[in-house]
Structure 1
């Protein structure tokens, strides 16, 4: 098939169907009628010789061929969009723009105070909304331009995404100040004998800590398991529990909650916290500006 044989608008409809899975929603997003979207899908089916999407109770499900096309076509459309808009520029002092950034609760605690302060000074018309990396299908949301950037330990974002390291950090053992183990030289025996609160943060990659401990034969006495890091400070403040957490979180909450932290008695993998963006916004001036701001504030 040659490029002149296909209408680029059909690929735009294809990309929207991948993201929304419903003809009515695609029609709303693109300002078209539902018959127009259905007609575009029919034309694309004839051109490509595949059903592309089939109706299910959950919406329009892509066929294996559609899934095969998804990444390269989305990336290509993103590059075209960026090339056509690279001259438009972005003036943060006058721009009115809302960004959506995916991050974990640790990210909100660590990044947002400084980021918001910088935005107030440099871009008074710019606002930011966050979504939890684990609460949405981040890959699909970023492909559909519903999420502009993501920050975190996100091994699921690979093909079709760019990334830059924001910081490289380590894990530490966090506890209340004055805890019997609040001392230099925490031993493995003391670590294993203590009771722990464990955070199972789905979709963040922090499960590598538990995997590393298991591989090393380290057995913790788990008293409490929680699905996020936000409550850790409150829990440790009034208990004798330990938590193994990324050091930036410990640095941020140790003072307000009266906590202390020490190196763990076992070697744990370093944490690479990266900034991710989709290829479709790689050259978007507004996205470029926000990426550069984040890297300037936090990348060492």
Structure 2
């Protein structure tokens, strides 16, 4: 097969069909009509003398040949896209780019207000959407450019990713003013006797704290479990429950809810918060600009 016989646009259709598995989804993503996508698929079938995709109840399933072609086609298109866009400048003042950042809800509390304040001045047309890393295949979504950055403790993002440290923080014990633990230091025995609210943040670095406490034999009287941090300050402010949280979250809770916090009675390791981006977008001007803003605003 000669390369000049293959239309580059056909390979773009092929890559989208492989990922989306539907003609209608591919047509919508490429802003084409469904007949146009069907026609492209027919041409691909003639070129490769293979069905490539077979209709099923689960969508268009790739044939063995299509799966074999998937990786080289994807890499070729990625390389071409990078080459063509390498010198394209990003103008934040004029851009209407929609950035996606993966973070936890506790990350939203710390990062989003300050970040949006900066973007209002520097990039008024830019918008941001936050994504939970536990709700998606984070590595895959970032490799495809669907998620631009990830912020937090993400040990699963390894060889294909760049990372830069923003800060380290310790864990503290947080409670309402006037609580029995409202004093300069909290003894382990008093910590164990208190009633606790536990955030079951699966898939985050915070879940590791619970594992460490359990391994060290620390007994907690857990009265409440919640799946996120959003309502935690309200809960602690209006009950006798105490919580193990990061110091930055406790500082904000103290500022807005009048809560108190002290050094944790258990010697817990600090947690490192990093900024992550996929290697494919290391030189992408828009990605470079956004991660520079995040680093300048939050690095310590």
- Place the TM-score, normalised by the shorter chain, in its bin: 0.7 to 0.9
Which structure 2 residues correspond to residues 132-211 of structure 1 after superposition, within 5 A? 132-211=132-211
Distance 1:152 1:253 in 2: 19
Distance 1:195 1:45 in 2: 66
Deviations 1:219-278 (A, max 9, x none): 211100000000100100011111111222111122211211112111222212222222
Deviates more, 1:101-110 or 1:125-134: 125-134
1:94 corresponds in structure 2 to 94
1:284 corresponds in structure 2 to 284
Distance 2:48 2:212 in 1: 48
Deviation at 1:40, TM superposition (A): 7.2
Distance 1:189 1:297 in 2: 39
- Cα 1:264–1:56 change in 2 (3 A) is farther
- Cα 1:291–1:43 change in 2 (3 A) is farther
2:119 corresponds in structure 1 to 119
Distance 1:87 1:53 in 2: 36
Deviations 1:187-234 (A, max 9, x none): 111111111111111222321011111111112111000000001001
Please say if 1:34 is aligned against 2:43: no
Q: TM-score, normalised by structure 1?
A: 0.84
Distance 2:259 2:90 in 1: 43
Whether the 8 Å contact between 2:205 and 2:271 is mirrored in structure 1 is: no
Please say if 1:215 is aligned against 2:215: yes
Deviates more, 1:32-41 or 1:242-251: 32-41
Whether the 8 Å contact between 1:74 and 1:143 is mirrored in structure 2 is: no
Distance 2:140 2:151 in 1: 16
Deviation at 1:39, TM superposition (A): 4.3
Paired residues in the alignment total: 297
Unaligned runs of 5+ in 2: none
Deviation at 1:157, TM superposition (A): 2.7
2:254 corresponds in structure 1 to 254
- Cα 1:247–1:11 change in 2 (3 A) is farther
